Amino acid sequence: MTNFKSEEYQNSWRCIMCNTFENMELYYRKQFYMQDLVCYFEEAFSIPWKALTVDRIDSLYEEKLLAIYLLTKYSKEDFKIIADEFNISLETVNSIYTNNTFKTTFMNDVKLFFKQLESDYLNKKQSSLEWKEFYEIPLSRQSNVEKDII
């Protein structure tokens, strides 16, 4: 547990801890380069990235959809680059990005993906709060899900 002195910072930390997944979704939106996301994907799902991009018989169809979904939501890459990576049309990439059913379909997979990043994320948040508390920087108002990324 942390050693925040003020109640305000303790409450902020509790909010971060209670809503870690939602906060991480916001924090990491459009933050990854493709290669970084690939590394975390391979680590989380034990699937070589190359298998997803060269498999022509679609034995890894669900995994491909998940990879494309993660790239559209969390990478900085242009959709054309994603389409080229998987040898699919730009329209297909756009439809995966806009299809809201993938959010619920892949919820557990996205949580597993973020599990790889959780300790780094929480360490950054804790350090940031400790720094703000030390220098007596007031916290902005936050809802259940962080509005400003600390």
User: Which tens digit of pLDDT belongs to each residue from 46-101?
Assistant: 999 999 988 666 789 999 999 999 999 999 999 999 999 999 999 999 999 999 99
What angle do helix axes 34-45 and 79-86 make, rounded to 10 degrees? 50
Listed by start position, the domains of the chain span: 7-134
As to burial, measured by CB atoms within 10 angstroms (0-12 exposed, 13-18 middle, 19+ buried), residue 82 is buried
Give the sign of the dihedral formed by CA 65, CA 85, CA 114, CA 57. positive
Residue 142 has pLDDT above 60, yes or no: no
Residue 148 has pLDDT above 50, yes or no: no
Please answer whether residues 37 and 31 qualify as being in contact, where contact means their C-beta atoms are separated by less than 8 angstroms. no
Residue linked to tokens 């060269």: 54
CA–CA distances in Å: residue 68 to residues 1, 38, 126: 36, 11, 31
Please answer whether residues 14 and 137 qualify as being in contact, where contact means their C-beta atoms are separated by less than 8 angstroms. no
- pTM for the model stands at 0.85
Question: How confident is the model at residue 140, as a pLDDT?
Answer: 73
